[in-house]
């Protein structure tokens, strides 16, 4: 059986948006689930669109998410170099080989002619493509222009007929060659276009499976014609459905839609992000069909290409939030406390026990960035509306809340030890003595110590963390407000 070799070949043009990261993940999973190799190749031939620092973003994102490459620019390998601009001398040789085979040709058309052709096509409302003006130049004309130093590009010569190719997701696809453009293979600066370089590199690097977005389906016939012209073996194609922000719009790096960096900055955990991205357009089969939480090693175990859908996937923030919450719940208390600590510290500057605060947050937290707002009352009681004491479900009113706080105050002042167990025993003793439902006492306590209707934990937990003096002061403030 042929060794499985896949590649992730990003352009350093900005942040790693989720569609790119999903392509990298699927390429990694195809390789690793088959005992193969995963390569990183940088496609930087579009020099104008390069963004400073983008290369570091690619490296850091893949390392953070555990998608470690077996060969690449930084670690080398037997098929380098792995940066396209460092391979520039390779491509012209192969382009000239195509010219000799009659599958490519020199094109000397200048920008003015090409722009005029575009305007004519737009005015005529016909799809724009090159008109083949230089297709049939004589060898003497070509030699004369080359000798005179006339700038040129090298174009692919699309033959007549049809091109059929197989995709492991979309099946057999046939395209009429008349719809294909004589695309540029080598630009006037001597660098290859993406469409040419990726074919040459995939062949020379012995890539067995090409995983990319479905937007490249329309270009695949051109790639096949290049493979056939060279007499090279065509790799297996796996085209992935687009990731959409809604029913009509794709997630787009250019439109500033969700990138991996955005999601991490919003408080998502890297493992949850990777897990969610795996499920965007893919699902497990068999006894794992209902499972939704997967570690990366578990994904390697269960991944198969037949689980990839043809349909576009909607990026569902609610689903990602839920999944992130599941990952938070699975952390040990100490792990979560360390992850939550900087977010707690944004609001809690005093001496409150951050581990106790984290213990309250962990069962209720979906996003780390939600934490500062949830704990901003620990340092200082906010000004609040006494109407918060009114809770229909708890059957609390302003009047019975005032009565409860007046009963709570001497109980708290009389406590010997101040800890959760002592508070629990004392206040539940009060509830029993008063013969009321728990909420009649505990709801006013929660509001009085927090100034909020929603808090991580109830009044007992909050009082334990706030301590004796602060809790008693806040209960007195509640009595004052209600009086």
Same domain, 295 and 232: no
- How many whole angstroms separate alpha carbon 413 and alpha carbon 64? 51
Residue 186, pLDDT above cutoff 80: yes
pLDDT tens per residue across span 114-150: 999 999 999 999 999 999 999 999 999 999 999 999 9
Same domain, 304 and 342: no
The domain spanning residue 138 has which CATH number? 3.40.50.620
Q: What is the predicted pLDDT for the residue at 172?
A: 96
In the block, residue with structure tokens 């893919």: 282
Same domain, 173 and 235: yes
What is the chain's alpha carbon radius of gyration, rounded to the nearest angstrom?
Answer: 32
In this structure, is residue 131 part of a structural domain? yes
CA distances from 428 to 96, 320, 331, 438, 464 (A): 87, 39, 32, 8, 15
The set of residues, in sequence order, having a beta carbon less than 8 Å from that of 337 and lying 6+ positions away, is 354, 355, 358, 359
Tokens of 391: 């809770």
**Which of the residues are catalytic?**
253
DSSP string, 5-28: EEEE---SSS--BHHHHHHHHHHH
In this structure, is residue 127 part of a structural domain? yes
Q: Which of 315, 344, 379 is the last residue of a domain?
A: 379
Same domain, 132 and 233: yes
- How many whole angstroms separate alpha carbon 194 and alpha carbon 192? 6
Same domain, 178 and 141: yes
Binding-site positions:
253
In this structure, is residue 8 part of a structural domain? no
- How many whole angstroms separate alpha carbon 288 and alpha carbon 7? 27
pLDDT tens per residue across span 266-293: 999 999 999 999 999 999 998 988 999 9
- Cβ atoms of 91 and 192 closer than 8 Å: yes
- How many whole angstroms separate alpha carbon 6 and alpha carbon 28? 7
Domain span at residue 93 reads 86-240
Same domain, 476 and 403: yes
Which helix (H) or strand (E) segment holds residue 37: the answer is strand 37-40
Same domain, 227 and 165: yes
Per the structure, the count of domains in the chain is 4
- How many whole angstroms separate alpha carbon 101 and alpha carbon 323? 54
Same domain, 367 and 273: no
Q: Which of 346, 379, 412 is the last residue of a domain?
A: 379
Residue 40, pLDDT above cutoff 60: yes
In this structure, is residue 47 part of a structural domain? no
The domain spanning residue 430 has which CATH number? 1.10.10.350
| pTM of the predicted model as reported, rounded to 2 decimal places | 0.90
- How many whole angstroms separate alpha carbon 10 and alpha carbon 25? 13
Determine the average pLDDT of the residues in 33-43: 97
Determine the average pLDDT of the residues in 203-220: 95
Any alpha helices (H) in 66-138, and if so which ranges? 88-101, 111-124
- How many whole angstroms separate alpha carbon 71 and alpha carbon 473? 64
Q: Which of 240, 268, 287 is the last residue of a domain?
A: 240
In this structure, is residue 306 part of a structural domain? yes
In this structure, is residue 29 part of a structural domain? no
DSSP string, 309-346: -SS-EE--HHHHHHHHHHHHHHS-HHHHHHHHHHHHHT
Neighbours of 166 (CB within 10 A): 13
pLDDT tens per residue across span 48-68: 788 888 899 999 999 999 999
Tokens of 159: 């033959």
In this structure, is residue 32 part of a structural domain? no
Binned at pLDDT 50, 70 and 90, residue 170 comes out as: very high
Same domain, 464 and 419: yes
Q: What is the predicted pLDDT for the residue at 52?
A: 86
Residue 257, pLDDT above cutoff 80: no
Binding-site positions for ATP:
253
- How many whole angstroms separate alpha carbon 282 and alpha carbon 276? 10
Determine the average pLDDT of the residues in 322-329: 97
- How many whole angstroms separate alpha carbon 44 and alpha carbon 34? 29
Q: Which of 40-49, 110-119, 171-180, 456-465 has the lowest mean pLDDT?
A: 40-49
Same domain, 302 and 414: no
Q: Which of 135-139, 171-175, 243-247, 420-424 has the lowest mean pLDDT?
A: 243-247
Same domain, 188 and 218: yes
Binned at pLDDT 50, 70 and 90, residue 248 comes out as: confident
| Residues shown for the chain | 483
In this structure, is residue 248 part of a structural domain? no
Same domain, 187 and 120: yes
């Amino acid at each position: 059986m042929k060794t499985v070799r896949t590649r992730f070949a990003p352009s350093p043009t900005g942040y790693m948006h989720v569609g790119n990261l999903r392509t990298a993940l699927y390429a990694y999973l195809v390789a690793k689930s088959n005992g193969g190799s995963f390569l990183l190749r940088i496609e930087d031939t579009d020099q104008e669109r390069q963004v400073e620092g983008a290369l570091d973003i690619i490296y850091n994102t893949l390392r953070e998410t555990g998608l470690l490459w077996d060969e690449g620019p930084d670690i080398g390998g037997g098929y380098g170099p792995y940066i396209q601009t460092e391979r520039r001398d390779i491509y012209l040789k192969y382009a000239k080989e195509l010219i000799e085979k009659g599958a490519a040709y020199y094109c000397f058309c200048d920008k003015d002619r090409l722009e005029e052709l575009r305007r004519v096509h737009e005015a005529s409302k016909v799809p724009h493509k090159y008109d083949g003006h230089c297709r049939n130049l004589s060898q003497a004309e070509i030699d004369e222009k080359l000798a005179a130093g006339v700038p040129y590009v090298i174009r692919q010569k699309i033959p007549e007929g049809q091109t059929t190719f197989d995709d492991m997701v979309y099946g057999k696809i046939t395209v009429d060659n008349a719809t294909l453009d004589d695309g540029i293979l080598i630009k006037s600066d001597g660098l290859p276009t993406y469409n040419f370089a990726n074919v040459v590199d995939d062949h020379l690097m012995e890539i067995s499976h090409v995983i990319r977005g479905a937007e490249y389906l329309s270009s695949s016939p051109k790639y096949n014609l290049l493979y056939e012209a060279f007499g090279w073996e065509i790799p297996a194609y796996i085209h992935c459905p687009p990731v959409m922000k809604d029913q009509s719009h794709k997630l787009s790096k250019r439109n500033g839609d969700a990138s991996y960096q955005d999601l991490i900055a919003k408080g998502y955990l890297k493992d949850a992000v990777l897990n969610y991205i795996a499920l965007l357009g893919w699902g497990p089969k068999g006894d794992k069909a209902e499972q939704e939480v997967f570690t990366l090693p578990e994904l390697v175990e269960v991944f198969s290409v037949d689980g990839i859908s043809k349909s576009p996937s909607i990026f569902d923030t609610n689903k990602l939030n839920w999944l992130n919450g599941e990952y938070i719940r699975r952390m040990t208390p100490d792990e979560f406390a360390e992850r939550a600590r900087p977010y707690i510290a944004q609001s809690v500057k005093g001496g409150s026990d951050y581990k106790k605060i984290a213990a309250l947050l962990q069962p209720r937290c979906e996003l780390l960035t939600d934490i500062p707002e949830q704990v901003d009352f620990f340092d200082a009681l906010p000004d609040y509306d006494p109407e918060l004491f009114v809770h229909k479900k708890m059957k609390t009113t302003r009047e019975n809340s005032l009565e409860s706080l007046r009963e709570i105050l001497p109980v708290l002042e009389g406590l010997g030890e101040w800890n959760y167990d002592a508070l629990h025993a004392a206040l539940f003793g009060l509830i029993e003595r008063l013969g009321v439902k728990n909420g009649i006492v505990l709801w006013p306590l929660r509001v009085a110590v927090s100034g909020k209707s929603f808090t991580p934990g109830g009044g007992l937990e909050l009082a334990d963390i706030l301590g004796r003096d602060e809790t008693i002061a806040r209960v007195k403030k509640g009595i004052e407000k209600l009086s």
